[in-house]
């Protein structure tokens, strides 16, 4: 009597998601297929549906992970109770972001967000979370502007790295961010 034991790999789902993100960053969503993901992770093609019912579900799960991975450092830096001025923390985020990979993934997410509502909702959730954190330092309207400005500065930094200097970023953030120690209600 032959018995077959099923190989248990608890990290397989995470590896599939991580590999999907890397392939999307390298090749784009359109060129990231179930087959390329399966080949890159060493997972049999037929086993992919055990973890994800469809390629679309896998791509969505990958972008959920990307949003969380991208948001967590932002949240940690902006929520840091250190003495550093919150505006300076925001400048540091813009200037030290892993621009290349994140910009590629963000561009792919934006395209999907323009085409499909569930991706648009994922992007909106990310924006709202960032604005909530920024609103601890300023009023909600200014928090939204700060979020858009830091996002735009990061994007422009990718295309015009010599033009988007730390001084320029600081000038833009300082113009919007209230002085350290002021109460958010005082910013209106």
> Cα 79 to chain center, whole Å?
17
In this model, does residue 83 exceed pLDDT 90?
A: no
27-66 pLDDT, tens per residue?
999 999 999 999 999 999 888 999 999 999 999 999 999 9
110-149 pLDDT, tens per residue?
999 999 999 999 999 999 999 999 999 999 999 999 999 9
Is 183 exposed, middle or buried, given 0-12, 13-18 or 19+ CB atoms closer than 10 A?
exposed
In this model, does residue 97 exceed pLDDT 80?
A: no
In this model, does residue 70 exceed pLDDT 50?
A: yes
Positive or negative, the CA dihedral 15, 99, 112, 72 is positive
User: pLDDT tier at 169 (50, 70, 90 boundaries)?
Assistant: very high
Query: How far apart are the C-alpha atoms of 154 and 94, rounded to whole Å?
Result: 6
Rounded to 5 degrees, φ, ψ at 158 are -65, -45
Q: In the predicted model, what is the mean pLDDT of the chain? A: 89
Query: How far apart are the C-alpha atoms of 64 and 16, rounded to whole Å?
Result: 13
Closest CA to 181 of 141, 142, 137, 140: 137
Predicted local confidence at residue 6, as pLDDT = 46
User: Taking the CA of residue 81 as centre, how many other CA atoms within 13 Å lie in the half-sphere pointing to its CB?
Assistant: 0
1-19 pLDDT, tens per residue?
434 434 567 799 999 999 9
| Domain coordinates in residue numbering, the chain | 55-187
DSSP run (H or E) holding 43:
none
Return the CATH fold of 55-187.
Answer: Tetracycline Repressor; domain 2 (1.10.357)
Query: How far apart are the C-alpha atoms of 56 and 24, rounded to whole Å?
Result: 13
User: pLDDT tier at 99 (50, 70, 90 boundaries)?
Assistant: low
């Amino acid at each position: 009597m032959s018995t077959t034991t099923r190989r248990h790999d608890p990290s397989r789902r995470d590896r599939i998601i991580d590999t999907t993100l890397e392939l999307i960053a390298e090749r784009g969503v359109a060129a990231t297929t179930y087959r390329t993901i399966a080949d890159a992770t060493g997972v049999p093609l037929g086993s992919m549906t055990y973890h994800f019912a469809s390629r679309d579900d896998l791509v969505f799960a990958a972008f959920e992970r990307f949003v969380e991975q991208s948001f967590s450092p932002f949240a940690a830096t902006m929520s840091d109770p250190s003495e550093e001025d919150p505006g300076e923390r925001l400048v540091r985020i813009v200037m030290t972001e892993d621009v290349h990979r994140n910009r590629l993934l963000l561009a792919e997410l934006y395209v999907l967000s323009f085409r499909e509502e569930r991706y648009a909702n994922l992007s909106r959730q990310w924006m709202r979370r960032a604005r909530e954190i920024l609103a601890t330092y300023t009023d909600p309207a200014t928090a939204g502007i700060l979020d858009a400005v830091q996002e735009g500065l990061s994007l422009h930094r990718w295309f015009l790295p010599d033009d988007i200097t730390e001084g320029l970023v600081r000038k833009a953030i300082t113009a919007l961010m209230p002085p350290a120690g002021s109460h958010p209600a005082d910013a209106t």
